[in-house]
Structure 1
Amino acid sequence: MKRRQLMAVSSGFVAAALAGCIGNDNQGDDGSDGGADGSDGNDPAESETPDETETPADVDDEHLETLVRGTNGFAFDLYGEVVGDEPAANVFASPISATLGLSMAYAGAREDTRDQMREVLGYQLDDSLVHAGFAQLQEQFDERGADGESDAEGEQPFELSVVNSAWGQSEYPFEEGYLDTLDTHYGGGLRETDFRENAPAARADINDWVATETDDRIEDLLPEGSLTPLTRLVLVNAVYFMANWKHTFPTDATSEETFTALDGDEHAVQMMEQEQDWQYAELDGAQAVELPYVGDEVSMLVVLPPEGEFESYESSFDAETLDSLVDALERQEGTVYLPRFEFDWRVRLSKPLKALGIEDAFAQKAANFDGIADTDEDLYLHEAFHKTFVAVDESGTEAAGATAAVIGDTAVPADPFEFRANRPFLFAIRDRPTGSVLFLGRAVDPEGWR
């Protein structure tokens, strides 16, 4: 296919996925109320009901900055937890995908469940502003993709798409206010399906939707058995990103070079090379270089920790560190050596989210999602799945993500720098105007690349 050729020749790809399930373990297989313990004792009419939809929220730049600062903080907290579980593995996450998927569930959370989610997700604004803020962020991301001009072959060298969907049990008593919030702020109008009678078919439909939205880069987001007759709601986010570098790496400069993995093993990799004026910084012994994509609104920041100190540097790598590196960037002549790499990654997020403090949402008897539906069932988050893919080559980067919650210039220095990523490095794909971290990862082991 011509599109596949464009990807292979001129771009890379990033994908991310998060999934979750809201269910009731006290029900029979036919979906009726098991009646063992009843509901959790919370009367929806008496629970806290944030007013997200009745009063329009005006989101200004200060609100958006506050929202992004909080969600970027969550991004690094989550990254730290998942890396702790896979200390020697390549990792690539889409924080914005995870955040949006969880935010749709948060819209229906009440009392302690809501408070825990709010604290961990870094929300500092009123709920109406949180949801309106995410709607505005998504609009801005969509504009990035819409502004791209086609090349001589009619292909777009820059694409960024962020979409949501909600899949709910047909004839289930969902709260109108909750559905209005999903539709108004997340563009995720309810798609009715029948988990009770045919959960496997519902899973296939959701996975097909994700694959379509990510250009087939994210397949089987929801694994076999992830949905059951007890599933009531699946909330999905999909992020797709494909962009050419503003300064493409010449293919004839790529050569074989040795990359020393985190475990000390040496691997032969294809090392790209380009001399250019870059935004570059050295801070606390680490090197950072910003590689802009076409349009200059999104970029990849590659961070090379001090040699021999990758793990200690990464353990303290947070949103504040990222901001400090970005603030320190200055235009400087230099040569960047970056390996071609491609890998996918998947994780179940319930464990790291619980470790961060979102505990009640995953506990059947403690969870309170009374804002989602008027029901005696104990709705809770069953699991959250996240899956990603990234590919980087001489032409650029391609990225895609899916989430389902079941439920200026400075003077040029005299000495050019050399940035040689022949050992483990960190990288983040950022939306420059808002500062949002779209993707965050580590490349530490070429054995896991392809």
Structure 2
Amino acid sequence: MFVLTILITYGTVSTFGNILKAGDMSVENFIESNAQFTADLYKEISGLSYGKSFLFSPFSVEEILASVWSGSKGKTALEIQRTLHLPDKYEDIETVFQSILPKLKSNNNLYNLTLANRIYVKDTFVINPIYKKRAKQIYSVDVENLNFNEAEIASAYINRWIEKQTNYRINNLLSPDELTDLTQLLLINTLYFGGKWEKNFNDPLTTTKKIFYNSAADKVEVDTMSMRDTLRYYECHAAKILELPYEGEEISMIIVLPNAADGWKNLTNFSDDIFKYPNYTLEYVHVELPRFSISYTIDFKHTLQKLGIVTAFNKADFGRIINITTEDVAISSVLQKTYINVTEDGTEAAVASSGLVASLASVSEEEPTKYFIADHPFLFYIRSPFGILFVGQYTG
């Protein structure tokens, strides 16, 4: 029997400033909605990639779907609203995104965070100019027409845009075969992060090969980093949770390590709690963590349909996005490709690797009070003050 009990506190440590109110929905309410949507996605994707490593960005999906919701009506809008756990009024969520996106985007000495999203619309549809302007101003989403019948040209055009946005870290997201004469709306969303650890792991030369247990029966050797430092730490009888902050301590990686080697199989039963802020204590921790990278591609269409967004992929009412048409309108795909590289210096999530050099941590002779040995599959996520940016599972 696997039972996970986590003591929850609300709020995050941040230097972004005070929480801003947005009608009936504050940024704090949005963070809670983001955590719930993240949990919903995690349950589905964990099942799709059972026993495998994966990585996705819930914030990026939420952002682009919220922009579509603002352009929807009737049942289409209601299904998106309920799935994203959003308020009833368009204005509330629009005000939140208009407030947080400028603060969230950053390219500074501490970290690099880039968001880029586009909605491609069939070239025979006339885009509502008011919606196009608002999508750009509020959600930083570009909306443009594209001839999907010219599949080779269209896919190359989209891929070039993605490569440029990611400094050529992500290539060939879309193949020509994924575009047909039935393609009408295509959502492309990207979110990229690169940051240096606030407290670094030891010299890369001291990183050693250690055993990682994929399961109780299978094991492999992986490059394993180590460090000892004072960190936010939480444990219960089923799992340990460790927070590794990036420089500036605005953004952190949280690692959920089940006590049992196969405990990852049961984490989805407790995902509603996992993505909330636990009641940490500060501990002097000995950490061992694999140096790892993950590349993952997903079309969220079927996952979102299972979660309740059905009409948008069938006969949608996008009356605020495009002018009236005699054709049935539907989203064809919600594509996302992600990449992460975790090293002694920090984390690169599909961004250029410049500026990731940091000073090396020293080893203290003090005896640690806790041990966090990640030698079997674990869940991790990257949290910002405004929501969860990335969620992943590493299985070796």
Q: TM-score range by the shorter chain?
A: 0.7 to 0.9
Partner of residue 271, structure 1: 224
Helix, strand or coil for the counterpart of 1:98?
A: helix
Name which of 347, 359, 367 aligns with 2:310: 359
What amino acid is aligned across from residue 231 of structure 1 in structure 2?
T
- What displacement does 1:414 show? 8.7
Residue in structure 2 matched with residue 5 of structure 1 by the alignment: none
C-alpha contact (below 8 Å) 2:185/2:330 kept by paired residues: no
Tell me how far apart the structure 2 counterparts of residues 104 and 249 of structure 1 sit (CA, whole Å).
39
Match of 1:286 in 2: 239
Q: Which residue of 2 aligns with 1:395?
A: 345
Change (3 A) 1:299 1:63: same
Among residues 81, 84, 109, which one is paired with 2:47 in the alignment? 84
Q: Which runs of 5+ in 1 are unaligned?
A: 1-56, 150-156, 402-412
Contact kept in structure 2, 1:238 and 1:400, CA below 8 Å: no
- Superposition CA RMSD, Å: 2.4
What's 2:65 paired with? 102
Cα offset, 1:201, TM superposition: 1.3
Identity %: 28
* Pair 58,300 (structure 1): closer, same or farther in 2 beyond 3 Å: closer
Contact 2:58 / 2:389 at 8 angstroms: preserved in 1? yes
Q: CA deviation at 1:245?
A: 0.8
SS at match of 2:221: strand
8 Å contact kept, 1:279–1:330 = yes
Q: Confirm or deny: 8 A CA contact 1:278 1:333 kept in the other structure.
A: yes
Q: Quote how far apart the aligned CAs of 1:438 are.
A: 0.3
Equivalent residue, structure 2, for 1:69: 32
Cα distance in structure 2, aligned partners of 1:187 and 1:158: 20
Q: Output the CA distance in 1 between the equivalents of 2:212 and 2:21.
A: 50
Distance of 1:382 and 1:238 partners within structure 2: 17
- Are the structure 2 counterparts of residues 322 and 283 from structure 1 closer, same or farther at C-alpha, using a change threshold of 3 Å? farther
Which of 196, 199, 203 in structure 2 is aligned with 1:244? 196
Task: Compute the displacement of 1:74 (Å).
Answer: 0.9
Q: Which residue of 1 aligns with 2:252?
A: 299
Assess if the C-alpha contact under 8 Å between 1:168 and 1:190 holds in 2: yes
**Shift in Å at residue 166 of structure 1?**
3.4
Deviation at 1:295, TM superposition (A): 1.2
User: In the aligned structure 1, how far is the partner of 2:216 from the partner of 2:166?
Assistant: 33
- Give the counterpart of 1:386 among 336, 348, 353: 336
Among 361, 370, 373, which residue is 2:322 paired with? 373
Distance of aligned partners of 1:165 and 1:308 in 2 relative to their CA distance in 1, 3 Å threshold:
closer
Distance 1:271 1:78 in 2: 29
* More deviation, 227-236/212-221: 227-236
**How many pairs were matched up?**
361
Contact 2:35/2:275 (CA < 8 Å) preserved in 1? Answer: no
User: Relative CO higher for 1 or 2, CA cutoff 8 Å, sep ≥ 6?
Assistant: 1
CA distance in 2, matches of 1:263, 1:200: 46
Q: Distance in 2 between matches of 1:60 and 1:247?
A: 39
1:419 equivalent in structure 2: 372
Any idea what SS the aligned residue of 1:397 has? strand
User: Could you say what secondary structure the match of 1:218 adopts?
Assistant: coil
For structure 2, the residue ranges without an aligned partner over 5 or more in a row are 1-19, 352-365
- Give CA-to-partner distance per residue, 1:69-114, whole Å, 9 cap, x none: 1122111101111111221111111101111222222222221111
Question: Which residue is equivalent to 1:442?
Answer: 393
Judged with a 3 Å threshold, the aligned counterparts in structure 2 of structure 1 residues 317 and 229 are, in CA distance, closer, same or farther, namely same
Distance 1:62 1:369, change over 3 A: closer
| Range with bigger deviation, 258-267 or 415-424 | 258-267
- Structure 1 residue 159 displacement after superposition: 0.5
Equivalent residues of 1:305, 1:313 under 8 A apart: no
CA gap 1:72/1:195 in 2 versus in 1, 3 angstroms: same
What is the CA distance between 1:378 and its match in structure 2?
0.9
Residue 288 (structure 1) shift? 0.9
In structure 2, relative to structure 1, the CA distance for the partners of 1:126 and 1:163 (3 Å cut) is same
Find the counterpart in structure 2 of residue 140 from structure 1: 103
Cα distance change on mapping 1:358 and 1:230 into 2, 3 Å: same
Aligned in 2, Cα 1:330/1:90: closer, same or farther, shift over 3 Å? same
Q: Hey, what's the Cα distance between the residues in 2 that align with 1:427 and 1:320?
A: 14
Q: TM-score, normalised by structure 2?
A: 0.84
State how far apart, in whole Å, the 2-side matches of 1:170 and 1:358 are. 25
Amino acid at match of 2:168: D
Q: Contact 2:56 / 2:391 at 8 angstroms: preserved in 1? A: yes
How far is the alpha carbon of 1:322 from its aligned partner? 2.8
Distance in 1, Cα, partners of 2:21 & 2:278: 29
Counterpart CA distance in 2 for 1:348 and 1:308 is 30
The match for 1:59 among 18, 22, 26 is 22
2:226–2:287 contact (8 Å) kept in structure 1: yes
**1:204 equivalent in structure 2:** 156
Cα distance in 1 for residues equivalent to 2:215 and 2:331: 35
- The one-character-per-residue Cα deviations of 1:342-384 (angstroms, maximum 9, x if unpaired) are 1211122222111111112212xx3222222122221101222
Query: How far is the alpha carbon of 1:427 from its aligned partner?
Result: 0.4
Query: CA offsets, 1:291-346, max 9 Å, x none?
Result: 111111101011111214514531223243332xx331111111110000112111
The whole-number CA distance in structure 2 between the counterparts of 1:189 and 1:257 is: 46
| Match status 1:118 vs 2:67 | no
Q: Distance in 1 between matches of 2:196 and 2:211?
A: 26
Structure 2: distance between partners of 1:165 and 1:385 = 11
Cα 1:62/1:103, change in 2 over 3 Å: closer
Kept in 1, the 8 Å contact 2:33–2:84? The answer is: yes
